[in-house]
Amino acid sequence: MGLRARLRGWEELTRPVHPDTARVLRERWAALPLAVRTPAQTLGRHAVGCEGTHGVFPKCNLTCTPCYHSADANKVRVDGEHTVAEVDAQMAYLRQRRGPYAHAQLIGGEVSLLAPDDHAAALLRMRAHGREPMSMTHGDFDADHLRALVQDERGRLRLRRVSFAAHFDMLMRGRRGAVRPRTEAELHPFRQRFVQMFRDVRAETGLRYYLAHNMTVTPANLGEVAETVRAVLPMGYSMMSFQPAAHVGDARRWREDYRQVSIGAVWDALEEAVGHRVPWEGVQFGDPRCNRTAFGFLVDGSWVSFLQPTDDRDLHARDRFYDHFGGVAFTGTPPALLALKLLRVLRRHPGDVGVALRWAARTVGRAGGLRRLVGAARRRTLRPMTFEVHSFMDAAQVAPAWDLMQRGVAAEDPELLATQERLAACTYTMAHPETGQLVPACAQHSVLDVEENARLRRLLPLTVID
């Protein structure tokens, strides 16, 4: 290879934003409803959104009220070969349509029902297509399963870093040791045990990990959200995510009027637990009727926001970040390569250094000063903490709204029109390479899951007769 070719390859490797990323960000922004094209909007400026798998392992060994899966989900056999093949096809299509990098969830029923080798193979295929994977679980598995997942047959790490989102709430039935919990507090030992399992494996192997805590919220446990947040914050999770329930999936498991629980009510309970306002308005993912997100960190148990939307200086820093660093892939890029990409941006925008330093100084001040941060780091009480609420929609609204969208028709009914707007701004997408579609998660679970799981029941029956 000649010098000119090597230089061209080096230039392409260190280019801050991949050309495909720039293209799909422009397309994502142009497809958003006008109402959500705000300065706070992340989609189309920094990210294309999250992705998820479907139809790969719908079966689960817990029962929940509610459950977003269709009635046929637990009649489908977990099959590793099918899972890996489907994950590979879906991620390849997402790479083609949505660019070289995104966060993607390995989701279906319960991921730990996969054999560890199949689970690892699926994660490796996701990474091969530029996806940063997160495995979705109820957390009811043991350290031996985790070791078998991350290590090969010779005891070497085949997965040096993993991300898991563990779902714990009192609406789940069948967990070992808590078959029918009556309160959220009964699950606190299991929440803590899940984190400790990863700590132990990290001490043994050097495994790096990111853990999120998920919780479904209904009228039955809304009053326990604040206490749960206070209990979980010190445990070691880096994210707490809440999903107000919707009337979607298996109707036999609907027990309450889920529309009583709003995204605002859950956020109010979160703020009650934190003890002060948790600002979410400065950074938006999709439609605010669907998502609220607040990025920050814990210092000796106190939560501090990375961004204050009431401070124009912070908003200016956010806007500079979106404008100049918007398409840079921060997660999954080797540190040395990321540093070179950032230096290339700063060479064109040297004023960003001062903006970043002033923002950092304000953030340190909000945290109580540099001395407190250093002390917290030494005490290991300094770590990131993101709060999220994702509000899904009822199938009764999604199905007709999605049907009209497929025919290019804007709904006249105000509620259906609002549903169409939320679907168009959805931050959570699933791929259908067989039809050439990218489908919002609410449409997948409300419309497509029923027929898909019926087909899978025939393809992968629970009982195999030779």
Q: Would you list the domain boundaries of the chain?
A: 49-313+384-459
Percent of the chain predicted with pLDDT > 90:
90
Residue 1 has pLDDT above 80, yes or no: no
> Can you give the pLDDT at residue 31?
96
**Tell me: the pLDDT tens digits for 226-238?**
999 999 999 999 9
Distance CA(74)–CA(243), nearest Å, equals 22
pLDDT at position 464 is 60
Q: How confident is the model at residue 291 (pLDDT cuts 50, 70, 90)?
A: very high
Give the pTM. 0.95
Domain spanning 49-313+384-459 has what CATH number? 3.20.20
Q: What letter would DSSP give residue 115?
A: -
Q: How many CB atoms lie within 10 A of CB 69?
A: 23
For residue range 269-279, list pLDDT tens digits in order. 999 999 999 99
Packing angle of the helix pair 143-150, 188-205 (nearest 10 deg): 40
What pLDDT band is residue 12 in, cutting at 50, 70 and 90?
confident
Structure tokens at 270: 């979160």
Query: What is the Cα–Cα distance from 82 to 397, expressed in whole angstroms?
Result: 32
Contact status, residue 341 vs residue 348, Cβ threshold 8 Å: no
pLDDT in tens, 297-309: 999 999 999 999 9
Q: For residues 418 and 102, what is the distance between their CA atoms, to the nearest angstrom? A: 27
